[in-house]
Structure 1
């Protein structure tokens, strides 16, 4: 357990704990609004930004963050254009992100191995700058949700009623997309662009099994996310496994255990 006292592991733990709050927290809103796939979409667009960052010599996560925020606005524009087929906006944006990323990969020379750490996660390489950025995003997300929780609750469960009551629905839709983009951009170095969607959706899926109210869902989703992050980092550190993959697999195990427990409770009653 010497790894626990290592500076790089402590940075990883701090970064993981912060993302363990924000990613599942945003995920519960996305899942309840049937926008689970937005995580995959924005993460792929972020990777295009990361690749551009390497090309032009600019902090990759910052460029990825800009790309993700721009994509979040684009998704809202497309959702408005295709009201009946809103999921098209995600498919179009994801295709564009993948295409741009592949183009930038071919233009790059010698940086593809660095990009791999953003594809699959590299939490042990978090720098102090990364932690400051993750901390800032966490603070923004928590303040935004805490100050607008009633409005977000109404938007999440009944968008039409929210519009009738006078709430600026478009503003809140954009806010949710932007906050999600921020979380995903700083998460990809922790669990990787290919796995970040799992950190958004699986804790939410777990909370829907055990929670009986929205408040319980919010509390349980954060607890489940933190348990998976802490346990995943410890298991990965001791047995020299991939941290991102270990965290996601632990989340799946938790989900399966909850499903079995719920089925057992039904059979028992």
Structure 2
């Protein structure tokens, strides 16, 4: 019997894939201080889910497409005079969630079960889901490898990036789109509500362990994969929700790293490797 024929084995592979995605992308989320955007994005994709349910197409496809539109709106709004990135995120993503609620309320007898999207179920992933997640992981990692230096330069020195001619708005959109695609790819395992745990927890834990940027990525990936696999194992042993278990392990890992940092006296008022709020475009800060 093939490994892919086993529910648990498929869940383990899916967990490892989303752990890698969460670890790598999470470093950029932390560096650009985008946890709020990541959390809000899960709500902003809701209209796409509703529209997909009404049209009878794949829910994740609907959420992904609408999420990209929301990302574009955030980038455009944040570059308007007198607006900043956080305000643009709140406006675009709360507006998106409101649109989803309106669409649901306008449909008499709307009964599509959206539980799978909101809370996830890694033990229910299919071979097709694995292929899609693996494909997303490959694309995201390739893009990160190609644009990683530029994305980090924008994060740590936006003025310098602009001075050397980097298209900061395009790079903003690319990073936010990568986060959005990663959120959608992680949803089958953790659901839209808990996905943020895997995109923030491992990277935040790695940040407490090391100041060296080159080590942040492997440590974040190791933490992400370990928490994801541990969550699946606990779920199969004690019949509890896998997504919630993964999120709890991410929180526990951060808690342990935080306590260790306190005991070693490593906590500082300002984190050296983290950028200033560079996600805010220059026009918005003018």
Other-structure match for 1:203: 202
Distance 1:85 1:239 in 2: 46
Distance 1:257 1:242 in 2: 22
Question: Conserved in 2, the CA contact under 8 Å of 1:47 and 1:193?
Answer: no
Structure 2 unmatched runs, 5+? 267-286
Other-structure match for 2:11: 12
Question: Conserved in 1, the CA contact under 8 Å of 2:77 and 2:83?
Answer: no
Other-structure match for 2:89: 90
Other-structure match for 1:224: 223
Structure 1 unmatched runs, 5+? none
Q: Which has the higher helix share?
A: 1
Q: Map of 1:1-269 to 2, 5 A cutoff? A: 7-81=6-80, 84-106=83-105, 107=107, 109=109, 111-112=111-112, 114-266=113-265
Moved more, 5-14 or 200-209: 5-14
Distance 1:236 1:140 in 2: 29
Distance 1:198 1:243 in 2: 13
Distance 1:87 1:244 in 2: 28
Distance 1:141 1:25 in 2: 9
Distance 2:4 2:147 in 1: 39
Distance 1:160 1:263 in 2: 34
Q: How many residues align?
A: 263
Question: Conserved in 2, the CA contact under 8 Å of 1:43 and 1:188?
Answer: no
Question: Conserved in 2, the CA contact under 8 Å of 1:229 and 1:247?
Answer: yes
Structure 1 pair 140/61, CA: closer, same or farther in 2 (3 Å)? same
TM-score, normalised with respect to structure 1: 0.91
Question: Conserved in 2, the CA contact under 8 Å of 1:202 and 1:251?
Answer: yes
RMSD: 1.9
Distance 1:19 1:172 in 2: 23
Q: Secondary structure at the match of 1:193?
A: helix
Distance 1:221 1:245 in 2: 19
State the Cα deviation string for residues 132-177 of structure 1 (Å, max 9, x = none): 2211111110001112222122112111111111111111111101
Question: Conserved in 1, the CA contact under 8 Å of 2:70 and 2:93?
Answer: no
Structure 1 pair 77/236, CA: closer, same or farther in 2 (3 Å)? same
State the Cα deviation string for residues 204-250 of structure 1 (Å, max 9, x = none): 21011011211111111111100100001000111001111110111
Distance 1:46 1:133 in 2: 19
Question: Conserved in 2, the CA contact under 8 Å of 1:12 and 1:124?
Answer: yes
TM-score, normalised with respect to structure 2: 0.86
| 1:82 CA displacement | 5.1
Distance 1:104 1:137 in 2: 29
| 1:108 CA displacement | 6.7
Q: Secondary structure at the match of 1:81?
A: coil
